[in-house]
Amino acid sequence: MAFLPIYPYDARVLREETREIAGPTPETTQLIIDMFETMDKANGVGLAANQVGVGSSLFVIDLRAVEGYEESKPLVFINPVITDLWGEEIGYEEGCLSVPNVREEVFRPETLHIRYRDARFEPQELEVDDFLARVIQHEYDHLKGIFFTDYLKGLRKRLVMPVLKKIRAGEEEADYKMARNIELAD
């Protein structure tokens, strides 16, 4: 197992839409194992493949360290499609392994329906709400090239911009290994 360095804010691979995975391969299985290992070591609850430099439509979630979710199962989402979003828009302070040392409130609908393939490439669907729905929306955004900080506006956006620039330049420290000298988005 391996720790995969985390790609930072504005890495090109994190600004481009990811590609669908055609079918199960040993490489994808290994990537999933390494992504769980990486997420665990970096104390994350969700991780998208492009956060470790792989432009594939895949993310993993493990909420077992979160209060109230101790009994939850780690989840693998391959080629996910959110088919519906509804409910109250709820504000919550989000963070991201690709955006170290930044936490900002983001409003998202509380409930969603998602279709995807699991680690064995079996088709699955889920209706979820609350914290799991939030993490899914955050990771799903990564697959579309969107960061949670993109939702900030006005003064909040202006205040966070200097930190985002430092992260983009590879000058912001994290508690885990970040990928360096990688290709950035324009």
The site for Zn ion (CB under 5 A) is made up of 96
d(CA 15, CA 76): 22
- Name which of 24 and 74 has its Cβ closer to Zn ion: 74
Residues in a beta bridge with 117: 78, 123
Taking the complex as a whole, the smallest distance from the CB of residue 148 to Zn ion amounts, in Å, to: 7
- Name which of 14 and 78 has its Cβ closer to Zn ion: 14
What is the CA angle 162-136-128, rounded to 5? 145
d(CA 161, CA 148): 13
- Name which of 120 and 177 has its Cβ closer to Zn ion: 177
Q: The tokens of 62 are what?
A: 């493990």
In the complex, residue closest to Zn ion by CB: 96
- Name which of 31 and 61 has its Cβ closer to Zn ion: 61
**DSSP notation for 148-183:** GGGG--HHHHHHHHHHHHHHHTT-S--SSPBP-SPP
**Active site amino acids:** 139
**DSSP notation for 55-81:** -BSEEEE--TTSTT-TTPPPEEEEEEE
Taking the complex as a whole, the smallest distance from the CB of residue 88 to Zn ion amounts, in Å, to: 23
Q: How far is CA 68 from the centre of its chain?
A: 21
Taking the complex as a whole, the smallest distance from the CB of residue 69 to Zn ion amounts, in Å, to: 18
Q: The tokens of 110 are what?
A: 């509380």
Taking the complex as a whole, the smallest distance from the CB of residue 151 to Zn ion amounts, in Å, to: 12
Residue 100 near residue 174 (C-beta atoms within 8 A): yes
